[in-house]
Amino acid sequence: MRRYSMSGPEGPALITGGAGFVATNVADRLLSSGRPVIIFDNLSRIGVEQNLRWLQARHGGLVQPVIADTRDVDAVRRAVSRASQIFHFAAQVAVTTSLVDPFTDFEINARGTLNLLEAVRERPSPPSLLFTSTNKVYGDLADVALVRRDGRYEPSDRRLAASGISEERPLDFHSPYGCSKGAAEQYVLDYARTFGLRTAVFRMSCIYGPHQFGTEDQGWVAHFLIQAIDGRPVTIYGDGCQVRDILFVEDLVDAMLAAHAGMDELAGQAFNMGGGPRNTISLNELLTLIEALTGRRPAAVFDSWRTADQRYYVSDVRKFTEATDWAPEVGVRQGVERLYRWLMTTRAAEAVPVTPIERVAS
């Protein structure tokens, strides 16, 4: 049973990037409680129209779609004028894309966030805002001494291995994506300090779960499963021993609701958010888990390390746990199996023709 209430201020919640993976899960939780939600999304990412269609079929008129882009200042202002709370997910999400087109990456991630903050600041009673940043703001963590043990990387410092990377870690933006998300989060934090807005930041590790259409560049847990289901090989950049903490999306939704509920105390702070040391997995270990679920190990093709890749990243979530009493509930095997079952069901239904989403004016 989920532990966090969906109660909140009157009026619709605004979710930017609202048809995306995490956003769809947040929207469903809020809509299921009878609360209207403004789904603000330009529908540019593959699969998100399916998420929006699913929300509309499930919740009807409570879903208020706005097909627009956070770079559109007027559209942002109109959406914010109706919002009582804001979950800000809209972003360019891939390091690889940012390397090809840094200008667009900046415009979406940094300028889009600033457009949103300014619209919030214009309100007589500004709504609270939670922004999803990234663990990439800590750079490649090359100075963290690692040992390779049982086919995975671990810190040689036992205290770090037991707790993970904390918010005390100095920021070190790597890649245009890391810079644009890092700049955006610093604006979010500063608008709390300078203008008194109720804003906070989650520095996200790897999130996975239903409604995730993972690609090679983003959403790797779902991507590995999709490749396995379709009988295609997985490309691993590096040696596959790199380790991440993974967090099932329902646990993340709990954390986000807890953050908004406690925003008066949490405003102006950044929190590392992931599964923590109890929910870690290497890329090679995920292949082994997929083999246990499907009866067949996905073929793997190994390639060179990618720019700014972290060989080890595990979130220290104690700061947020101490502030809210939140903790992850879904373990790695349970969560991966739930995502696998959802993907099997969803991909079987993909052959059914669907009606395109109507572009609703903002």
Residues recognised as catalytic: 177
The C-alpha torsion from 281 through 97 and 172 to 72, rounded to 10°, is: -120
CA 234 → CA 181, 215, 227, 281, 288, distances in Å? Answer: 27, 11, 6, 16, 13
Cβ burial of 334 (10 Å; 0-12, 13-18, 19+) is exposed
Q: What does the alpha-carbon distance between residue 14 and residue 129 come to, in Å, rounded to a whole number?
A: 9
Q: What does the alpha-carbon distance between residue 132 and residue 181 come to, in Å, rounded to a whole number?
A: 9
Q: What does the alpha-carbon distance between residue 248 and residue 99 come to, in Å, rounded to a whole number?
A: 29
Question: Widest CA span of the chain, in angstroms?
Answer: 58
Q: What angle do CA 139, 142, 146 make, to 5 degrees?
A: 130
C-alpha Rg value of the chain to the nearest Å: 20
Cβ 298 vs Cβ 228: under 8 Å: yes
